[in-house]
Structure 1
Amino acid sequence: MREPTMIDGNSNASSSPLPPPPQALLERLKDYGQEDVFALWEELSADERDFLVKDIEGLDLPRLDRIIRCSLRSQALPVAAIEPVPENSVSTVEERSMEDRERWWKMGLKAISGGKLAVLLLSGGQGTRLGSSDPKGCFNIGLPSGKSLFQLQAERILCVQRLAAQAATEGSGGSAQIHWYIMTSPFTDEPTRKYFESHKYFGLEADQVRELVTFFQQGTIPSVSTDGRFIMETPFKVSKAPDGNGGVYSALKSSRLLEDMASRGIKYVDCYGVDNALVRVADPTFVGYFMDKGVSAAAKVVRKAYPQEKVGVFVRRGKGGPLTVVEYSELDQSLASAVNQQTGRLRFCWSNVCLHMFSLDFLNQVANGLEKDSTYHLAEKKIPSIHGFTMGYKLEQFIFDAFPYAPSTALFEVLREEEFAPVKNANGSNFDTPDSARLLVLRLHTRWVVAAGGFLTHSVPLYATGVEVSPLCSYAGENLEAICRGRTFHAPCEISF
């Protein structure tokens, strides 16, 4: 028998008997086979019973029942056959001309200066694997400047705004303001807001913050046992977890932010994950490409480095079916290693790196469509519960779940050494560490400086160092000649105004 727990100084030691569970709520739970949440009711204090009732009343039981049943059923179904994405349906680096790049860059800057682009940051994760309890975006990967991921991304947005404003003065003008929508989770929301406040929003004026930055939270969903029953974190609380980065669609809808975007005249939404030190936020070239193709959804992709690389890949489901992503854990090893005999490259080679572009019209469609579908991915985990760690499922939707809904999709290849430096694991791991990301940044920026006529000296071996170029100086290596030509920089260092 469990010792009585006290929440607010009250125990269940009382001269008068405590009431049974609310009958109507109990009947509703029975309808969905979830009445076990009241299994320890008799052992709870009055405060605990009140907490449990409110916890259950806050759940949309019909919706959750539909999601759980559909997801468990989907897991038991055979996976549809997949086909590689045809090479000719991807805009590869080799095939793009300088004229195309310049045209897309100018188109993108014009759209940005006209206020048509929003940036959507997926920032619900904590840095647990990095050895930090802070939100991932707060992490400092060890660059000479000491800037966090949040600051690097904020300064890239500020740089693009400046470039768009400059382009607008040469044309018809424009506001060149980019609204930044930042999705947090219940675990990261408060520390993220405080971090931005303590760093004065990384350069935004105080009166701009309300207009240009919006925080909102993704939802949570109960974790369930293998037979679909809610797992109890404590005797009076259902275990819940964030609903995956694909929860952004329903969160945008429930927060009425899709309406907010429309009211601002936004047409395109650049969506990315926080844990990429080289992410080109609000990339004008990608915006221009997206507009030029006239598609509903697009993704930047990199070529898979080797068959066992832990990245999802874009595929087609079925013969000529919709474009979607298969996670590395779901891709059979024989398919992961299969080679195209004509090109000598992996057949399934286009890696998803969470760099997406959507039209606002499409986001509105997806916000309704994904919810109707109600199929979530089941992640089998050891979940803390009243019985210790229990094997069960966390239910998640992924950002790429939207792609099968798109009437038209485009893939845009980028070079990983220019745009993909993931920060996922603590230093000492074999891949995707702060150290590896820092070196990717320093090496790229070193190439920029040398191309702009600068010189470097090193106090440590060249392979372990380099220079950092402040995003406020250059977005993608442009406009560095005046700063770098003929100058010598002692690495490691930051180059700034």
Structure 2
Amino acid sequence: MKEMVVGSEIARREAPSPPPQALVERLKDYGQEDVFCLWDELSHEERDQLVRDIEGLDLPRVDRIIRCSLGSQGPPQPGIEPVPESCVSTVEERTLTERERWWKRGLKAISEGKLAVVLLSGGQGTRLGSSDPKGCFNIGLPSGKSLFQLQAERILCVQKLAAQSADGSSSVIPIHWYIMTSPFTDEATRKFFESRKYFGLDVGQVTFFQQGTLPCVSRDGRFIMETACKVAKAPDGNGGLYAALKSSKLLEDMAMRGVRYVDCYGVDNALVRVADPTFLGYFIDKGVATAAKVVRKAYPQEKVGVFVQRGRGGPLTVVEYSELDSSMASEINQSTGRLRFCWSNVCLHMFTLDFLNQVAHALEKDSIYHIAEKKIPSIHGSTMGVKLEQFIFDAFAYAPSMALFEALREEEFAPVKNANGASYDTPDSARLMILRLHSRWVVAAGGFLTHSVPLYLTGVEISPLSSYAGENLESICRGRTFHAPSEITF
């Protein structure tokens, strides 16, 4: 009898404890109680991990996003129209006087500390054959500089130009650089900057912050479990910027620093003109809430999103290439002979801080995210599920006013998306675009080039510390000969 009592005591002690009842009830409210279905098979450590994972979710917000995004396709969208010509500043229409005025106005605003820069850097270089953050990638320039370094040095150069342009002052006002990472790139990005001593920038002028993640779900809205003790999650898209700026209180931080304008761009453009004074000056001149740089589509079926107008007189927004009917993509404007839908979105944007505050609240309130059906790593192997994302251009629908600014592809758009060997957007193609552009700068400044291989396969690299957009090169280049490939530093 005593043995039976002892045995029952051991059984009671070893019986698995149930999951926290209050948490179970909360999950039941949202139909997600299945996350505990393997509870009895978990170790104590795994149970603790699962509870922490669930408690880390803002369940009311996540549930609202899932319901709004899966349960509604949103209101019917009006038909799309080409962007009115009055909304675009084209290269051919700009006068030298305008360009000079915008350049000086932009430099003045920068010298007054009114511009901040936001970098979208949440992606890994998986398609490039690297698990490192994309910004760490070396595209093979003579200098061996990474994308992060090229961008940091452009910021340093603009700061110097702004200081030199300021009346009666030569002190450099730092441009604050806000770098949005993801849980997958944050630690590696911080360590990369630390090990390179922030590429010459002041440590205090760089702020790292993480974009959010959302659970991956089945088509009926149930959480997919990556493991028995972890919900599968994915970054919430580059449009997660707005929620991240709000939750990190960085919009208040910008206001405290005296920022009025925010330049925002993606990390994988090797030719990006970070903190472009001309674009900023144009933006201020137009007095709009937001603006975007655009390049002309290279051909009708190019895989880029294009700007459109939603209905006559409606807001400007972006339609992804997969959503644009092939016949519409090929339509020609009879008066110009060009594509009717020709303005490509290349993720180069300018915002007022006031508009960022407005849109951060508006997008969160609407809670409608884009649905991307993907294979999700799960406890049952790779399974089809849904990732929920917002895009940076979702904000444009809320803009009371917007303008587009044409940039030349060969001067400002060299995407690095695919590994060498692919047919487009590779490190090799981006490297060649930089070398060719800088070679043209040298020749325009009165220099000469020699080369041991065909010049169209090579060129020279000019350090961003020496020239931002080809300016101030005459005194160095005139009458001198440079051998390609090489880096020119002064």
Please give the range of the TM-score, normalised by the shorter of the 2 chains.
over 0.9
Is 1:54 the counterpart of 2:52? The answer is yes
Among candidates 56, 79, 94, match of residue 96 of structure 1: 94
1:397 and 2:390 aligned: yes
Q: Percent of aligned positions with the same letter in both sequences?
A: 82
Query: Quick check: 2:163–2:169 contact (8 Å CA) kept in 1?
Result: no
Residues of 1 paired with 2:81 and 2:125: CA distance? 35
Does 140-149 or 49-58 show the bigger shift?
49-58
Separation in structure 2 between the aligned mates of residue 338 and residue 128 of structure 1, nearest angstrom: 35
* Aligned pairs (5 A) from 1:187-206: 187-204=184-201
- For 2:203, the equivalent position in structure 1 comes to 209
Summarize the alignment of residues 291-310 of structure 1 with structure 2, pairs less than 5 Å apart.
291-310=284-303
Aligned position for 1:469: 462
Q: Residues of 2 paired with 1:414 and 1:320: CA distance?
A: 24
More deviation, 318-327/284-293: 318-327
Q: Is the 8 A contact 1:115 1:174 kept in 2?
A: no
Deviations 1:206-235 (A, max 9, x none): xx312x111111111101111111110001
Letter in 2 for 1:448: W
Cα separation, 1, equivalents of 2:216 and 2:322: 21
Q: Which runs of 5+ in 2 are unaligned?
A: 1-10
In structure 2, which of residues 470, 476, 480 is the aligned counterpart of residue 483 of structure 1? 476
Retained in 2: the 8 A contact 1:295–1:410? yes
Tell me, yes or no, if structure 1 residue 334 matches structure 2 residue 327: yes
Structure-2 residue corresponding to 1:136: 134
Q: CA deviation at 1:18?
A: 1.6
Q: Is the 8 A contact 1:114 1:175 kept in 2?
A: no
CA distance in 2, matches of 1:319, 1:110: 37
The one-letter code matched in structure 2 to 1:187 is F
Instruction: Say if 2:323 is the partner of 1:323.
Output: no
Match of 1:365 in 2: 358
The Cα of 1:437 is off from its aligned counterpart by 0.3
Q: Which amino acid aligns with 1:492?
A: P
Give the residue type in structure 1 aligned to 2:17.
P
8 Å Cα contact 2:77/2:310 also seen in 1 = no
State the Cα distance separating 1:422 from its structure 2 match: 0.2
Matches within 5 A, 1:215-226: 215-226=208-219
For residue 14 of structure 1, report the CA deviation from its aligned partner. 10
> Is the CA contact (8 Å cut-off) linking 1:124 and 1:187 kept in structure 2?
yes
Q: What is the SS of the residue equivalent to 2:332?
A: coil
Matches of 1:445 and 1:278, distance apart in 2? 11
Which residue of the other structure, out of 176, 179, 184, is the alignment partner of 1:182? Answer: 179
| TM-fit CA distance, 1:76 | 7.8
Tell which deviates more after alignment, 78-87 or 154-163.
Answer: 78-87
Amino acid at match of 1:469: I
- Is residue 115–residue 175 contact of structure 1 (8 Å, CA) maintained in 2? no
What CA distance in whole angstroms lies between the structure 2 residues aligned with 1:75 and 1:446? Answer: 50
2:28 equivalent among 30, 46, 58:
30
1:83-131 per-position Cα deviation (integer Å, ceiling 9, x unaligned): 1111222010011100000000000000000111111111010000000
Q: Cα gap change, 1:76/1:164 in structure 2, threshold over 3 Å: closer, same or farther?
A: closer
**Equivalent residue letter for 1:117:** L
Alignment partner of 1:284 is 2:284: no
Q: Deviations over 1:264-288 (max 9, x none)?
A: 1011000000000000000000110
2:113–2:258 contact (8 Å) kept in structure 1: yes
1:75: how far off?
Answer: 3.8
Q: Deviations over 1:447-495 (max 9, x none)?
A: 0000001111111111110010100110000000111111111100000
Residue 15 of structure 1, CA deviation: 5.8
Shift of 1:171: 4.7
Q: CA deviation at 1:345?
A: 1.2
Please identify, of 60-69 and 421-430, the stretch whose mean Cα deviation from structure 2 is larger: 60-69
> What secondary structure does 2:483 align onto?
strand
User: For this pair of structures, how many residues does the alignment match?
Assistant: 480
Aligned equivalents of 1:54, 1:320: Cα separation in 2: 49
- TM-fit CA distance, 1:173: 6.2
Q: Partner residue of 2:232?
A: 239
Give the whole-Å Cα distance in 2 for the aligned partners of 1:255 and 1:202.
Answer: 25
- Answer whether contact 2:124 2:130 (CA < 8 A) is retained: yes
Which of 269, 275, 278 is 2:268 aligned to? 275
Instruction: Give the Cα separation in 2 of the matches to 1:104 and 1:76.
Output: 39
User: Aligned equivalents of 2:93 and 2:162: distance in 1?
Assistant: 26
Q: Secondary structure at the match of 1:54?
A: helix
Higher mean C-alpha displacement, 86-95 vs 153-162: 86-95
- For 1:369 and 1:56, locate their aligned partners in 2 and report how far apart those are by CA, in whole Å: 27
Cα distance in 1 for residues equivalent to 2:285 and 2:171: 20
| CA distance in 2: counterparts of 1:121 and 1:464, whole angstroms | 30
Three-state SS of the structure 1 residue aligned to 2:93 is: coil
1:263 matched residue in structure 2:
256
CA contact (8 A) 2:160 2:172 kept: no
- Give the structure 1 partner of residue 421 of structure 2: 428
- The counterpart of 2:347, out of the listed 344, 354, 372, is 354
Task: Indicate the SS of the match to 2:123.
Answer: coil
Q: 1:387 to 1:339 in 2, by over 3 A?
A: same
Distance 1:79 1:381 in 2: 25
Quote the Cα distance in structure 1 between the aligned partners of 2:351 and 2:378: 39
How big is each residue's C-alpha offset from its partner over 1:334-377, in whole Å with a ceiling of 9 and x where there is no partner?
22122222222111111000000000111111111110010111
State the Cα RMSD in Å. 1.5
Deviation, 1:322, is 1.2
Following the alignment from structure 1 to structure 2, what is the Cα–Cα distance between the partners of residues 277 and 414? Answer: 14
Q: Which amino acid aligns with 1:293?
A: K
Structure 1 residues 155 and 48: CA distance shift in structure 2, 3 A: same
Gaps of 5+ in 1: 1-12
For residues 74 and 258 of structure 2, the distance between their equivalents in structure 1, rounded to whole angstroms, comes to 44
AA matched with 1:65: D
1:385-438 Cα distance to aligned partner (Å, 9 max, x none): 011111111111111111111111010001000000000000001110000000
Shift of 1:444: 0.5
Amino acid at match of 1:18: P
- Structure 2 residue matching 1:281: 3-state secondary structure: coil
